[in-house]
Chain A
Amino acid sequence: MQAMTRRAAVAALLAAASVAGPAPRVAAEDADRGATLFRYCTQCHGEQGEGNALALAPAIAGLPAWYVERQLEHFRSGIRGRHFDDIAGMRMRPMSLTLRKEGDVAAVAAYVASLPPADPEPTLEGDPARGQQLYATCVACHGADGAGNQQMNAPPLTGSHDWYLERQIQNFRQGIRGADPADTFGALMRPMAMTLPDDQAVRDVVAYIMTLPR
């Protein structure tokens, strides 16, 4: 409980620091710490967090800190990356467990958020026109521009690789992600993924997301 409040305090401090303009020393030290911690992540996510298909690791640069933090916490607790068929998630889970000290997660998340978002090339065959119609369902949470919406807990979708988006939507559909009873946010997304009727629809909506401006 105490740990929770302290973590909340750190998060609040960070948030305050980011609006308060000139960064106090605490935030500067935190940024250093985030950069140091991030060196470990570059093994898979790339020097600038631009992702690496061979390592199955998505682009994470520029994802909002609240989302990165939540995913790291989910990996750490096994809400994400502990499903029998989650090949990629099981590669990420042990990495999240290396963030052992209080405040590590917040520090690295803030650093990831500060990186310039990636702009990956499309690699999948899909029909963006059909995808646009299917994307109507997604607008309410992820926004018409795919920039995400913290109020709805929905992350940005632009700046991601299409293979990663496809895999996540399939993971949601198959209950590999978002099916854990403790995953309240995944539970919002899972039924939405179910509205996509088949594999081609998934590729189409992803193809449309790839056309959105970054």
Chain B
Amino acid sequence: MVDDSVFSDVAPQFLPGWEIVVGLEVHCELRTKTKLFCGCANSFGREPNTNICPVCLGLPGSLPVINEQAVELAVRIGLSLNCTVDESIFHRKNYFYPDMPKDYQVSQYEKAINENGYLELPLSRKIVRIERAHIEEDTGKSTHVGGDNGRIHGADHSLVDYNRAGIPLVEIVSAPDLRSAEEAREYVSELRSILVASGASDGKMEEGSLRVDANVSVRQLGLSEFGTRCEIKNLNSLRSLVRAIGYEAQRQVALIESGGKIIQQTRHWNEDQGVTSAMRSKEEAYDYRYFPEPDLVPLSPSSEWITEIKGRIGLLPASRRERLAVLFDGVSSGSTFDQIVTAVNLGLDDLIVGSVESGADPRLALARATNEVAGDLEKLSNLTVEKFSDLIKMESERKLSATQAKNVLAQMLVSGATALDIAKAMGFEALDSSVIEDLVDQVISSSPREWERFSAGEDQLAGFFIGQIMKLSKGKADGKVVTSILRSKR
């Protein structure tokens, strides 16, 4: 799943003469200790219906009390997305569904806590406007058993797990500023990094911590008016996002080109078949009967508190990229910058910067981090800055060859042992140059005639000496070190 959250194998759709318009609604689970309105733990993966109480179960008589930590994390998101953070109120969004314990969802409607922000895409430097980032409660989770593909229609019965009910969410709504599936991916990827860096989210799309709804429309190039949009619900990976937008845009273009008309509707993405299908049209849309939630008072974060929160936000991705770029002459594009973007997206920049600070080579650190460490991210916790930096140093000091360093690093991620211990255990420990020098002397004295010819300028004999020395060292001598000693003795 790791590659899924960052990379995609699907090429962006190309529709000549048409422009894709995308706006995204990203639901982000906040990393709070407890749920939004009660004291139940905010945790994932428990036995169904064991993490519940009268409040999140919406039992008669129960009342919500807002979780201050959730408000703080929401404010962190707002500040990180350059929003105006202001007084806000909660509304009830009324509709019947079994996974909603109260048959209404408490959300922010008229006045969101965060409004009018923006996000800059790291590669294209495009500004994407953020309309709002508001707080709401999550619903429970339904499992439809039997029938069509896990959907409620035609199911034999449904099971509901309310453990997720009341988990705090922030919904981040972008303006329809994105123009391709690729841009949408870049946006979500950058947003994910911001959410993780601000401390608001763990960013785990595979666990549902981030869920994306995409509003997609198409228009002929050059037109300024938007086409009719369709909303694709619940895209749970970057790969699905790109594929779903691509499919939906093609569907809409094909429909229009064949004389049809787009109907505004909510659509469902089928990952296996790679298609979207209609859930409900605008005519069937719910009337949510929003009204101010009378059980909660307005949220009015004071400017002092907002300033305090600002001070608690960690380094954001843009600053993190800058911090890395400084190590490479302020690079701002090209393959090194791409690697920098990847490193920050994967949260590897602290590792790189830390190792460079303790003397490791930046280029090597960046390469090992974005290639080898990125390949085994789940094991990142086994790696400390110190261990990583020791490895890079061993490689740049030629105590390990590139291939050896990669093997050692892979082992370090698995076991958490130091580079030195693993290198020793694998028999990779490169020989000290004084040992190599002894070996060189040994070979010179045992092959005096060859040495004479080599000293006289027969360079092709270097291979003979290196081979001999390697044999003696059982392959542990670094070829480059051997060569330089040979040259110095000639």
Whether A and B are associated in the same complex: the answer reads no
Chain A residues engaging chain B, CB cutoff 8 angstroms: none
